Structure 1
Amino acid sequence: MSTPLDRFRELLSIPTVSYADESRMDASVFDEFHRALERLYPKTHERLERDVIARHSLLYRWPGTSSEDPLVLMAHMDVVPVVEAEWQHPPFGAEIVGEGEDAELHARGAIDDKGSLVAIFEAVETLVAEGFTPARDIYLSFGHNEETAGDGARAIVAHLEERGIHPALVLDEGGAVVEGIIPGVDVPTAMVGVAERGVMTLVMTVREQGGHASTPPAMPATARLARAIDRLRRKPFPTRLAPPVRAMLATLSPHTPEPLRTLFRRGEITGPLLAGAFTLGGPETNAMVRTTAVVTELSGAPGENVLATSAKASVNIRLLTGDTIESATAHVRRAVADEKVELEVRHASNPSPVSPWRGEPWRRIASAVVSTLGGDIVPTPYVQLGASDSRWFTAISDHVYRFTPFHLTRSERDALHSHNERIRVEVWLRGIGFYRALIEAS
């Protein structure tokens, strides 16, 4: 008889890779993944209703005693591409390395995001087998193209909206149980995202007549573009403490020594000082206190001896709560200070609304954290630094949260979207208990 770990490994071995160019996606692997779910979780598929949406996304409904105020548990089945040569273990081999408490499961998607998806199925399958009926309907929403900001989750939301479904609580991937991120905090913290930053791509383009590289002009397009990139780097977005970040620091203040305790507790006054200090703490804390911008793609001439008629740079911008697509574009324009640098906005979405960090939905998440993951863990609100499918659900719910119930080290977090992604087996098994507790409290 298979174990939860056996089932997890089998699903990790299916390479459900998504690509921005959907013509590159192999639809058959998603069909294989669907079939594996049906086979591995038969009781779930007998009890719950299932819809296939936008070709490969899945939406399940677990009827409860009441259809009012349902719970939505989210995850996504797709994973980002891999460069196999960079991995110490095969990315889709789902190999277990080490023993006992040190045992790790190495695979693409182990954390992002099949770890949550399979843990949800494990919790549901067990509860269905025990004859449990939730007090309120529960929906399971699993997108197939989250990594490419595709249409799966949006189509699911449209489907629910047409049916008049307004969830009381939505939980998607997000923050984890971490240590050492916030200076001076000496307890593990459960970082529950109450909002997420917006994301946009701004393309900077410089055009010129072109010609042979042997006779370049004084300021070729590539040089003008390079100057614009450097000017933007030298003029980062201003720092500030957004309300969820102030709430995070206030929540954690009792667990810090003085004078940090007072500084964290009085964030409305000490905000400028703290925001400045956070920029020095590393990429994660810097991203908590400002909109960030980084050039990710460059293009120029088609040949090494040809002047570029068009030099382009893609700028990935992550908008902090309170900033907008328009304000970010204006900042870049001021920083570049060159009318010959064209700006074009692509793939833009503003920051999500902020969900409450008080009230019954928040308490359900916090209680599940403390009761299953550790009584010494402090649940705290924060602004999620990346984007997720949950942002689409803010159209139908005021209580959308982002939390992955795994205790992750810095090196484990660094492996997300990189090589050697892995999760400790014991940590993943505890996450099943979190979802079970949340469902039982529904």
Structure 2
Amino acid sequence: MRLRRVSTPIERFREILRIPTVSHVDESLVDTVAFDLLHDTIARLYPRVHDELEREVVAGHALLYRWRGTTPERPLVLMAHQDVVPVDPTEWRHPPFAAEISGEGADAEIHARGAIDDKGALVAILEAVEVALADGVVPAHDVYLAFGHNEETAGDGARAIATVLQERGIRPALVLDEGGAVVEGVLPGVGVPTAMVGVAERGVMTLTLTVHEAGGHASTPPSFPAPARLARAIGRLHRHPFPVRLAPPVRAMLATLAPHARGPLRPLLANLAVTAPLLARALPLAGPETNAIVRTTAVVTELDGAVGENVLATRARATVNVRLLTGDTVEGAIARVRRVIGDPAVEVELRQGSDPSPVSPWRGEPWRRIATAVADTLGTDVVTTPYLQLGASDSRWFTGISEHVYRFTPFHLTRAERDALHAPNERIRVGVWLRGIAFYGALIRAS
């Protein structure tokens, strides 16, 4: 008689990482079979989750699980997304969907697309729920698992889940999605590890700048061709960035970190009523991340022009990605871009956009639950602080049904590990990932 081999959390994690659930803006390119395989694999690897929780498939491939607690009121929602961004395997040191391990022990690294963003959280949540079910845990309140399938592109899977919950009158007491992590050196002079919990996220919008002209042969160019006019507009946009200021979540972060700062930074952080303008001007000098927390950013990401190298462009176009600071609006940003460019021949059009999210409170019982879980599982020396989420997440769709929407991934990440998100060589350390499971378990037991 052959005994069934019992897999470990790491082996289950690696098996899920090997499934290439890649999102594409052009949805005709999406391999839906991979998502079907992921669903089947989750059911096989997590039999208690599959058998004891109510499971729905929403909007094609988004997953919604309900774990009934003692009461359905004020449930907990744990979020993650199934999809990952595309890869170029030639740029990776390890095959991106092989989930290879390098090193030994807790510092060993799992190399795979999605190791952090965001299958790391998805599988850690499943592990925590499976263990709690095996231990006979009955949560005081319902627990929902909401796993969108296209966060990296449209995000309408999570939006559909939020709509389902809203239609059922469900008002979560706490929603937790991906976001900040445990990091060190978030500010020069602050050496303590910090759990960066997003209480809000910036808005996101896409603009197109377009210049039209008659076209013709490149041998007889006009005095100011369309690409040159477009380049001037881009230059003006780059030379005149949005103004800096400290939004409320950033002020709260700086105030929280003030007691842990060293040297001249400490009095600056401790006296924000006086020093805020100075800090707002200084933070952009510390790097791209600190620049992005004090201003709306606008960057050109795509350019296109003529159809051939010897043909004048009849249309030159640039795509501008704008991330809106808390307090700014889509309408206001468009007006400012037009004013800065100052050329009516450059058409500025909105392709899509959403204002910044509401700000969730960094006081009260839901916040304390997160901070307590951090201290209990990630280290008593870790300082939990409010944070302004720089990128967009699926959680933005849940702000209409809950006032307590937070963005935090319970992994202690180095600068190099954070830089690998959406880039080659994404990876996570084994010990770091296992501690993340404990965090979700503590949060569930406190629900």
User: Does structure 2 retain, via aligned residues, the 8 Å contact 1:12–1:92?
Assistant: yes
| Residue in structure 1 matched with residue 320 of structure 2 by the alignment | 315
Local SS of the residue matching 2:321: strand
Local SS of the residue matching 1:280: helix
Q: Which amino acid aligns with 2:161?
A: I
Higher mean displacement: 258-267 or 209-218: 258-267
CA distance in 2, matches of 1:408, 1:347: 32
CA distance in 1, matches of 2:261, 2:426: 32
Aligned mate of 2:249, from 240, 244, 248: 244
| Residue in structure 2 matched with residue 123 of structure 1 by the alignment | 128
Local SS of the residue matching 1:90: coil
Q: Deviations over 1:164-219 (max 9, x none)?
A: 00101000000000011212112000000000000000100000111111111110
Counterpart check, 1:13 vs 2:18? yes
Q: Which amino acid aligns with 2:429?
A: R
CA distance in 1, matches of 2:228, 2:109: 47
User: Does structure 1 retain, via aligned residues, the 8 Å contact 2:189–2:263?
Assistant: no
Displacement of 1:101 after TM fit? 3.1
Name the count of aligned residue pairs.
Answer: 442
Higher mean displacement: 426-435 or 259-268: 259-268
CA distance in 1, matches of 2:370, 2:270: 23
Q: Deviations over 1:387-438 (max 9, x none)?
A: 0000000010000000000000000000000000000000000000000000
CA distance in 2, matches of 1:307, 1:13: 46
* Structure 1: runs of 5+ lacking an equivalent: none
CA distance in 2, matches of 1:131, 1:368: 20
CA distance in 1, matches of 2:278, 2:208: 33
Alignment map for 1:55-204 (pairs within 5 Å) = 55-204=60-209
Q: Which amino acid aligns with 1:71?
A: L
Aligned mate of 2:294, from 289, 295, 306: 289
Displacement of 1:45 after TM fit? 1.0
Displacement of 1:267 after TM fit? 1.8
Q: Which amino acid aligns with 2:76?
A: L
Q: Deviations over 1:6-32 (max 9, x none)?
A: 000000000000101101101100000
Counterpart check, 1:433 vs 2:434? no
Displacement of 1:150 after TM fit? 2.9
| Residue in structure 2 matched with residue 40 of structure 1 by the alignment | 45
Counterpart check, 1:25 vs 2:30? yes
Q: Which amino acid aligns with 2:118?
A: D
Displacement of 1:268 after TM fit? 2.9
Q: Deviations over 1:94-117 (max 9, x none)?
A: 000011232000000000000000
- Give TM-score, length-normalised by structure 1: 0.99
Higher mean displacement: 94-103 or 374-383: 94-103
Local SS of the residue matching 2:166: helix
Counterpart check, 1:358 vs 2:357? no
CA distance in 2, matches of 1:264, 1:350: 28
Aligned mate of 1:343, from 336, 342, 348: 348
CA distance in 2, matches of 1:150, 1:139: 18
Aligned mate of 1:327, from 332, 348, 356: 332
CA distance in 1, matches of 2:212, 2:103: 55
| Residue in structure 1 matched with residue 3 of structure 2 by the alignment | none
| Residue in structure 1 matched with residue 383 of structure 2 by the alignment | 378
RMSD: 0.7
Q: Deviations over 1:109-142 (max 9, x none)?
A: 0000000000000000000011110000000000
Higher mean displacement: 106-115 or 270-279: 270-279
Aligned mate of 2:429, from 409, 415, 424: 424
Displacement of 1:265 after TM fit? 2.1
CA distance in 2, matches of 1:226, 1:405: 42
Local SS of the residue matching 2:286: coil
Displacement of 1:235 after TM fit? 0.2
CA distance in 1, matches of 2:42, 2:240: 49
CA distance in 1, matches of 2:360, 2:190: 24
CA distance in 1, matches of 2:361, 2:199: 7
CA distance in 2, matches of 1:319, 1:85: 34
Structure 1 runs (4+) greater than 2 angstroms displaced: none
User: Does structure 2 retain, via aligned residues, the 8 Å contact 1:169–1:397?
Assistant: yes
| Residue in structure 2 matched with residue 397 of structure 1 by the alignment | 402
| Residue in structure 2 matched with residue 408 of structure 1 by the alignment | 413
CA distance in 1, matches of 2:79, 2:271: 35
Aligned mate of 1:387, from 392, 398, 407: 392
Higher mean displacement: 227-236 or 324-333: 324-333
* Structure 2: runs of 5+ lacking an equivalent: 1-5
CA distance in 1, matches of 2:186, 2:155: 31
Displacement of 1:266 after TM fit? 2.1
CA distance in 2, matches of 1:150, 1:426: 30
- Give TM-score, length-normalised by structure 2: 0.98
User: Does structure 1 retain, via aligned residues, the 8 Å contact 2:148–2:157?
Assistant: yes
User: Does structure 1 retain, via aligned residues, the 8 Å contact 2:360–2:403?
Assistant: yes
Displacement of 1:327 after TM fit? 1.1
Local SS of the residue matching 2:285: coil
User: Does structure 1 retain, via aligned residues, the 8 Å contact 2:183–2:193?
Assistant: yes
Q: Which amino acid aligns with 1:214?
A: S
Displacement of 1:330 after TM fit? 1.3
CA distance in 2, matches of 1:122, 1:150: 24
Alignment map for 1:190-269 (pairs within 5 Å) = 190-269=195-274
CA distance in 2, matches of 1:320, 1:298: 25
Displacement of 1:258 after TM fit? 4.2
